[in-house]
Amino acid sequence: MRFYLTLAAFLLSASAWSQTNSESLDTIPTIPMDLDLVLQSNSYYLAYKDSLSKLVNQNQQNATKKKKMIPNPYLFRIFAPGTVYNSALAHNMSIVNGLNLSTSTLPSLGSTTDQQLMLDEVMSEQLDLAYIQMPQLFSSTQPQLMNTSKLRSDLEQQVKEEVNIAEETAPLVLPDVDIQDIAPEVKRPNFWTLKGNGSLQFTQNYFSDNWYKGGEKNYTMLSMLTLEANYNNKRRLQWNNKMEAQLGFQTSENTEPKFRATSNLLRFTSNLGVKAIGNWNYSAQLQLESQPYMSFDNKGENVTADFLSPLYIRSSIGMDYDIKLKRISGKLHLAPLSWVVTYVDREALISRHGIREGHNSKHEWGPNVDLNFTYKIIDNISWQSRLYWFSNLELTRIEWENTFNFTINRYLSSKLYLYPRFDDSSTKYKAGEDHTGTYWMFKEWVSLGLSYDF
């Protein structure tokens, strides 16, 4: 079958070549009438002719759509005029340029991995059969075909690349340097991390004198400042220091004093840790807490707190666990042994904090748990929390501070502060005559204003 297909290709190509190139290849024979009739009745010939017609139509459609078809040079011998090719004869004798293919390192003609080599083998076999059975179809040789003007001979020439060389640059002249005059600069790693946050919020209320519900004009200001200086040598030692300050005021027209403290905190925490295993550290912690401004009761008659009244000094020894999650970071301090000193400078406030008469301080020993973490709920909302627990096996103190930060932009933010507290060492609060006393306390505020991280 392959013989008839190849033979039909030669006949079609010879006829087409003789019609279009008669001036250069006059020796190409035409197809005899009786042979043409035989081919017309051959099914292989008709199928091959139909395939060529479809190929021509597809090529015309691609030309209309401006699509390029890359020709396959290995098919040249099928569509060229009948020619005796050296490669076909060499294939028949298994010799290429005097090289025996059976002993060479070239791929054998029976290779099934090189598609182009398999195609060349099939064409060479059919050409060999055609040379023997129908020699009258071949009137030219390969050298004669190569000498015609229809083939390009410049494809075998080596392409020379043209390199555009930039303009010649000035030669680089290195200065003479005396190595002995250069002093090496040694930079030590900086294990300190400094950061902070400051915020300032304002609230204003105004009522006219004849307002139908009445009211009192007031202004509210709340300022917060947090500073941190942390040391970590990335090996065994950590030293974290944190300063927190809160100061808020509210003005009043009808009561004294005119300025009342609504938020009043001054706290310093220092924690020294030594690497143990994993996220655990041996640690020692010291915390000082007081308030910078006086606070008054609701009537504004009695002072409820002042600077160093009270002053809490908390020291503890235990273990720390570093919390490092995707959205949660913080530290858990577990201290089986802690020492808490409560100092009150004002004599009138001594009994308020459970200190014996005639003394200004009290000392308490017991276990202590201190949890500090920050939970980034979403990109613009975060939750900062501090949970403190202490007990001397007789009295218990629990503090839970929660600050929800709502970031509007780089400079504007809103804060929600919730602070429940339990302390059975202080004086009970009585809401009324018919209510029992309780040691639970609660504080809350909401603010909107300026905020800046540094």
User: Is 428 a residue whose pLDDT tops 90?
Assistant: no
Give DSSP secondary structure letters for 25-82. Answer: -TTPPPPPHHHHHHHHT-HHHHHHHHHHHHHHHHHHHHHHTT------GGGHHHHS-S
Question: What's the CA gap between 125 and 2, in Å, rounded?
Answer: 9
**Per-residue pLDDT band at 318 (split at 50, 70, 90):** very high
Domains of the chain, by residue range, sit at 2-149, 192-453
The mean of the pLDDT values for the chain is: 76
User: Is 159 a residue whose pLDDT tops 80?
Assistant: no
Give the Å distances, CA to CA, from 410 to 39, 193, 199, 400: 88, 21, 12, 28
pLDDT at 84: 83
E-strand ranges in 206-346 read 218-232, 237-251, 259-277, 280-290, 295-296, 303-305, 311-324, 328-343
CB 390 within 8 A of CB 408: no
CB 10 within 8 A of CB 35: no
Q: What is the pLDDT of residues 207-216, one digit of tens each?
A: 767 665 566 7
Rg of the chain (C-alpha set): 50
Q: What is the pLDDT of residues 321-344, one digit of tens each?
A: 999 999 999 999 999 999 999 999
Of residues 150 and 352, more confidently modeled: 352
User: Is 137 a residue whose pLDDT tops 60?
Assistant: yes
Q: What is the pLDDT of residues 364-419, one digit of tens each?
A: 999 999 999 999 999 899 999 999 999 988 889 999 999 999 998 888 888 898 99
Q: Report which DSSP code applies to 315.
A: E
CB 256 within 8 A of CB 274: no
Question: What's the CA gap between 210 and 189, in Å, rounded?
Answer: 67
pLDDT at 439: 83
Question: What's the CA gap between 142 and 89, in Å, rounded?
Answer: 11
**Per-residue pLDDT band at 89 (split at 50, 70, 90):** confident
Q: What is the pLDDT of residues 17-33, one digit of tens each?
A: 333 333 333 333 334 44
Q: What is the fold of 192-453?
A: Outer membrane phospholipase (ompla); Chain C (2.40.230)
CB 258 within 8 A of CB 251: yes
Q: What is the pLDDT of residues 235-269, one digit of tens each?
A: 899 999 999 999 988 887 766 777 788 888 999 99
Among candidate residues 355, 332, 337, 336, the one with its CA nearest the CA of residue 345: 355
